[in-house]
Amino acid sequence: MNLPPFHIVVPARYASQRFPQKMLADLAGKPVVQWVYELALKAGAESVTIATDHESIFAAAKAFGADAVMTRDDHENGTERLAEVAMLKGWSGDEIVVNVQGDEPLLPIALIQDAVRALAEDDESEMATVACPIHRSEDIFNPSVVKVVCDAKGRALYFSRATMPWDRDGFAQEPKIISDDYPALRHVGLYVYRVSLLDRYAHMPMSPLEKWEKLEQLRFLHQGIKVQVAVTQELPPHGVDTPEDLQALTQKLSSQ
């Protein structure tokens, strides 16, 4: 299937607990958010918009030629910021919009395109995300690694920090045996939405599942919304969460 029309929004929040002002941090001569914007431009989207809540990011985005919009500063997450951008832009309900995090300067373009195709090819799903195989057995038991299991149509059944599914026989042994056909995938935090879903998101209450797992995507599953999962074979490069991440990426980019 050819790539359908879609928009990209890059939420760029100024505050960050682990790394304040990271969007404007210098990465090999450019702000982190500029790397992400220039990457997004190559994905084939109809438009790429930086959505921020701070004048300094807005000014920086305008300085390097980006389309930027100021959004409210009371959004709880990037999805709410996307919903405001979709409203401001006047996008129709059937249009597709991708949330590309502003701190992922090395996100593979193919990942964005595969997720867009996955949603476009599934008329019943209202959003899509990405997952990859779990290559290390320790990740299966690591609560920081979010797992997803899918149905026969590739849609998410559940996301969890817990080990799922539980292999009753294999995990009863020590050391635990990991079957080659273990069905859980590692969730990758890239989301693609139909605008009509974003319109409804603000009115969806937090689900009990989301409250306990601290996983926003469970709000959608709790409401019966179908989530298509695009599968990639490798985990994408790590983003910029800490100053140490920034230093590592700077060294990587400088050596290329």
**Residue 27: which CATH number?**
3.90.550.10
**CA-to-CA distance for 238 and 245, rounded, in angstroms?**
8
- Phi, psi dihedral angles at 69 (to 5 degrees): -130, 145
Give yes or no for residue 215 having a pLDDT over 80: yes
Q: Report how many domains make up the chain.
A: 1
Range of the structural domain that residue 210 is part of: 6-130+186-254
Q: pLDDT digit string (tens) for 88-101? A: 999 999 999 999 99
In a domain, 59, yes or no: yes
Give yes or no for residue 121 having a pLDDT over 90: yes
Percent pLDDT > 90 in the chain is 73
pLDDT band at 228 (very low <50, low <70, confident <90, very high): very high
In a domain, 165, yes or no: no
The number of C-alpha atoms within 13 Å of 23 and in the hemisphere containing its C-beta is 24
Instruction: Return the exposure string of 45-69: e unless at least 16 CB atoms fall within 10 Å of the residue's CB, then b.
Output: beebbbbbbbeebbebbeeeebebb
pLDDT band at 229 (very low <50, low <70, confident <90, very high): very high
- CB-based contact 147:229 (threshold 8 Å): no
**CA-to-CA distance for 43 and 1, rounded, in angstroms?**
15
Task: Give the residue-averaged pLDDT of 141-160.
Answer: 97
Query: Cis omega before residue 165 (within 30°)?
Result: yes
**CA-to-CA distance for 243 and 249, rounded, in angstroms?**
10
Give yes or no for residue 211 having a pLDDT over 90: yes
Task: Give the residue-averaged pLDDT of 142-161.
Answer: 97
**Residue 110: its H or E element:** helix 109-120
168: amino acid identity, one letter:
R
In a domain, 171, yes or no: no
Residue scoring higher pLDDT (58 or 254): 58
Task: Report the chain's mean pLDDT, rounded to a whole number.
Answer: 92
In a domain, 76, yes or no: yes
pLDDT band at 234 (very low <50, low <70, confident <90, very high): confident
pLDDT band at 8 (very low <50, low <70, confident <90, very high): very high
The pTM of this model reads: 0.92
pLDDT of residue 159: 98
In a domain, 145, yes or no: no
Give yes or no for residue 238 having a pLDDT over 90: no
In a domain, 94, yes or no: yes
pLDDT of residue 167: 93
Give yes or no for residue 34 having a pLDDT over 80: yes
In a domain, 15, yes or no: yes
Give yes or no for residue 122 having a pLDDT over 90: yes
pLDDT of residue 189: 83
Give yes or no for residue 1 having a pLDDT over 70: no
In a domain, 141, yes or no: no
Considering only CA atoms, give the Rg of the chain: 19
